Amino acid sequence: MSNPSSSSWLAAARSPSVAASLEAVYAMIADQIEARGPACWASGRCCNFEKAGHRLYTTGLEAAYCVARLEVPLTMEALDAAAARGGCAFQVANICGVHAIKPSGCRVYFCDRSAQQWQHELTERAVEQIRLIHDREGIEYRYAEWGSVLRLFV
């Protein structure tokens, strides 16, 4: 890994205080999701970005949080295979392989069309809180497509 940004994001993501701040945002998202009760069919369709017609965006810090906690190292082959099938490198047999450490965009998104308005509002709120973590901790902020950010860590 030769990208200076990814190295600094990993260092920040491994900091207990930064991790706790991200986890607080994730807890807020979980509370909001639970209060709304959107339908989730656990079909994995949402993780196939091409078929679902959406893109997952995340911050470098959130990607680093996930990568730093992987049990198996991320490979370029896995990223290339995911891109070829139009989905996520962590989707295994239609199940999220990083459910507990996934970024806010994954946590907020549901295929349930009745959830679209509040999903947008919750996403904006979460991104704003994550941006504040970057600002407070002096961490470079970059918001980009999930697969392209993950490539910075391989």
Q: What is the pLDDT of residue 10?
A: 96
- Mean pLDDT to the nearest integer, 122-127: 94
**Secondary structure element (H or E) that encloses residue 52, with its range:** helix 49-52
Q: What is the pLDDT of residue 1?
A: 52
Q: What is the pLDDT of residue 41?
A: 65
| Cα gap 20→150, rounded to integer Å | 21
| Assigned token pair, 10 | 């990993």
Residue with tokens 């995911």: 82
- Mean pLDDT to the nearest integer, 126-132: 97
Residue with tokens 């196939």: 48
C-alpha to C-alpha distances, 154 to 24, 56, 67, 89, 106, nearest whole angstrom: 27, 19, 10, 12, 21
Per-residue model confidence as pLDDT tens digits over 42-87: 666 677 777 777 788 999 999 999 999 999 999 999 999 988 988 8
Least confident of 23-27, 108-112, 120-124: 108-112
